[in-house]
Amino acid sequence: MATTDMDLLPETPDDPKLKAMFEEVTARWPRVPNLYRMLGHSPDMLRGWLDLAWSLRLNATTPRRTRELMILRGARMTETAYEWAHHVPMALEAGVTQAEVDALMNGDMADTLTKAERAALQLATEVTEGPAASPKCMANLKQYYSDAEVIELVLTASFYVCVGRTLKSLSVPLEEGYEAPW
């Protein structure tokens, strides 16, 4: 993993613009994640990051369960412990079973997944491996999802590849209370 000499910013920064963004975050969660405390070194970039991340999380019409499965698939493939540790609880809350999480941890797909979920996981796999999803993958996805939903899923897969690469490049440490899976 890369190392960086950047420190995490305090949860209550002096910069008013950054302080306002961190207050937005703590209105949703009990604390500011270390990822945001690192990205806060560039407040304008953090703003764009939050806007996309929250749009994918709060405004998407595709099942949250499907998107969390995709996120875990990508996190496992890239061995991004931070992403995995943060999203396993979210996945369980969204209806993913522990057996399905365990299957993803082992690089498999549980038998309980629907064909639509399998198509979404194939998308996550191909986008994570890069450089893009194949025409066959996209055609399969279109059997189960509308054009708008396909956009959401492609953006989800792509964004979380970016999340993993960012976490690892900046050596963002996992917060206390989270357990690294590997």
pLDDT at residue 5, as a whole number: 79
Domains and CATH numbers, the chain: 16-58 (no CATH), 64-169 (1.20.1290.10)
As a whole-number percent, the residues of the chain with pLDDT over 90 amount to 96
User: Tell me: the pLDDT tens digits for 66-119?
Assistant: 999 999 999 999 999 999 999 999 999 999 999 999 999 999 999 999 999 999
Task: For residues 8-25, give the mean pLDDT.
Answer: 96
Specify the DSSP class assigned to residue 11: S
Burial bucket for residue 146 (CB in 10 Å: 0-12, 13-18, 19+): exposed
User: Tell me: the pLDDT tens digits for 167-176?
Assistant: 999 999 999 9
Cα(11)–Cα(19) distance, integer angstroms: 8
Q: Rounded to a whole number, what is the distance in angstroms from the first to the last CA of the chain?
A: 13
Task: For residues 42-69, give the mean pLDDT.
Answer: 97
Answer whether residue 1 shows pLDDT above 70: no
Q: Are 82 and 179 in contact (CB under 8 A)?
A: no
3 — pLDDT class (breaks 50, 70, 90): low
Contacts of residue 128, defined as CB under 8 A and 6 or more positions apart, other chains included, come to 73, 74, 77, 78, 157, 161
Token digits of residue 142: 């279109």
Cα(40)–Cα(47) distance, integer angstroms: 9
**pLDDT mean across residues, the chain:** 96
